[in-house]
Amino acid sequence: MNGSNAPACVPAHRRALLPLLGTDEEAVAFFAGIADLDATAPADHLLEDGIRLASGARLEQFARAGSGDAFFFVGEDGEERPVVYVSLDGEAGPLALGLPELVRLCLVAPWWRDAPGRTARELQTVADEYREDVPDLDQRRDRAARALGLDPAGLPSEAAALARLVELSRGPVAAACLVVGYEGDPLDPLFSAAPNHP
């Protein structure tokens, strides 16, 4: 029993994912334990006052990483809002246009934080190290995906998910999601250079 009350046949885009990320045993085990996205108690590690969007739009924290970094929705209402990641190291940027896209990224590349600027060979090394540390990674990913109502066969490739991160880090989405720090200066971008893919 995985603790989910939602029927698995309901498409993920039609039901709320956030409650499942914080309560479903399979989802919590994968996202908090492997992908370092903990939605069980996001208010436990709120960022200090002063971090805000340059546009003045609302930042709503919904999850945190073990380091204290935070995941935020941009704007008001719903899980389809852009998602921004803010690190305590002074970096920030958009990760996804909605929680469903972020969930897919974390399922296929839970090591996405290690991707910026790496070559294809270096990215493969990072992925291989994750698999060495978690030998049943694929099985755990598939169980978490199913708990959220997603078909594991329909997930994007690692390369596609990482290319999407780079795409979001440039252009209008990045401009709309520009995070500024305590003194009003923009935080450094998460993805300033595209990883090389074969």
Q: Which residue has the higher pLDDT, 127 or 105?
A: 105
- Residues 6 or more apart in contact with residue 9 via CB below 8 angstroms: 149
Predicted TM-score (pTM) of this structure: 0.86
Mean pLDDT, the chain, rounded, equals 85
Rounded percentage of the chain residues whose pLDDT exceeds 90: 56
At 122 the pLDDT is: 82
Q: Tell whether 126 is covered by a domain.
A: yes
Q: Cα separation of 160 and 169, whole Å?
A: 14
Q: Tell whether 135 is covered by a domain.
A: yes
Q: Tell whether 17 is covered by a domain.
A: yes
Q: Tell whether 3 is covered by a domain.
A: no
Give pLDDT tens digits for 28-77. 999 999 999 999 986 676 666 788 999 999 999 999 998 889 999 999 98
Q: Cα separation of 143 and 123, whole Å?
A: 24
Domain with 44, as residue range(s), is 12-181
Domain count, the chain: 1
Q: Which residue has the higher pLDDT, 43 or 147?
A: 147
Could you give the residue ranges of the DSSP H alpha helices within 2-136? 18-23, 25-31, 99-108, 120-133
Q: Tell whether 196 is covered by a domain.
A: no
Q: Tell whether 4 is covered by a domain.
A: no
Q: Tell whether 7 is covered by a domain.
A: no
**CA 187-190-191 angle, 5° bins:** 130
Rounded percentage of the chain residues whose pLDDT exceeds 70: 85
At 123 the pLDDT is: 80
At 140 the pLDDT is: 95
Give pLDDT tens digits for 148-194. 999 999 999 988 998 898 889 887 999 999 999 888 899 998 876 44
Q: Tell whether 141 is covered by a domain.
A: yes
